[in-house]
Amino acid sequence: MSNTRSPSSRRAGGDSRRWHHRVLAGSAVVALAVGGTVIAATASTERHAASQLQSVTAGPYRGMLANSKAVSLYVLSAESAGKLHCTAALCLKAWPPLLVRSATKSVSLGKGVKGRTGFLRRSSTMKQVTFNGYPVYRFSGDTGARQSNGEGIVADGGTWTLASASATTTVSTPVKPKALLLSVGASPYVNVLGTAGSLSLYALSNESAGKLHCTGACLPIWPPLVVPTAITSVSLGAGVKGTIGFVTRTASSKQVTFNGFPVYVYSGDGGPGQSSGEGIVADGGTWELVSAAATTTGTTQIPPAAPNPTTTTTYHY
């Protein structure tokens, strides 16, 4: 194979930390990468003497409902009629409700917030803010403003989604999760499995049975596509036909698998539509792009377009 990459792989390794942060910032689900904490030990309530709802951009989503600190707010599909399902201590720790004191009569609305607000009693002294009939919450896995790590999590009898700040009806309030996996072009390849940010995804040949070989020093070069452990399904774009699964990476995250292969992005790809990781021999196997249309393990990896067996790719971790 004609790719002697000792210099470039050293470059990729040297820049891996910066690239890893850039990759993870591009996707709502990928942001909780290796080492991230999903269910943080936070207070189970959020209190504002004078709450303000505002419209913000949260990750790849525009016009999302947020609290006065620009922290994204979520709704649970099972609570559309205002009947509470998130009542257990574990749920309240993961999804702290937006609470105000019982004496509060109204909340102020920022530009772009058009829905109907209300309240639902939570205790003798506190009540929860509702939006178009939905009780609203933040997600403990969002560690700062304008994040969307809770989008699409299936739990607590329904699906947690961001809320559209401009929605004026119950039906239009939940925001449909963007597809996590897409079919993208990665010159000269077509129908390649890609992330929500159109970054190419790769599989390692010796991981076809789901047994992880890319660990330790491999991970900064090949960042895995991970989601919070609470997620039980992911959204797929048109043309993505394979079987989705998961393999545990940490106590709080799991890696997405495609037809049994754990999938990764490559730190040497400078952005969407690239394929510079194709055919690299390392980590006990061969890294190849993933075919979005593949439905079997044997057809999942895309062979290099112009292989040359005279040389092999090497890494220096």
Give pLDDT, residue 164.
98
**pLDDT tens across 49-80, in order?**
335 899 999 988 999 999 999 999 999 999 99
d(CA 181, CA 289): 14
If you search the block for the tokens 């990459």, which residue do you land on?
Answer: 5
Give pLDDT, residue 98.
96
d(CA 225, CA 234): 12
Burial class of residue 303, CB neighbours in 10 A (0-12, 13-18, 19+): exposed
Query: How much is the pTM?
Result: 0.60
Q: Where are the alpha helices (DSSP H) in the chain?
A: 6-14, 16-25, 89-94, 218-221
**pLDDT averaged over consecutive 10-residue blocks of the chain (317 residues)?**
36 33 33 26 38 88 95 96 91 94 94 95 95 95 86 87 97 90 94 91 93 94 88 87 94 91 95 95 97 97 69 45
**pLDDT tens across 7-30, in order?**
333 333 333 323 333 333 333 333
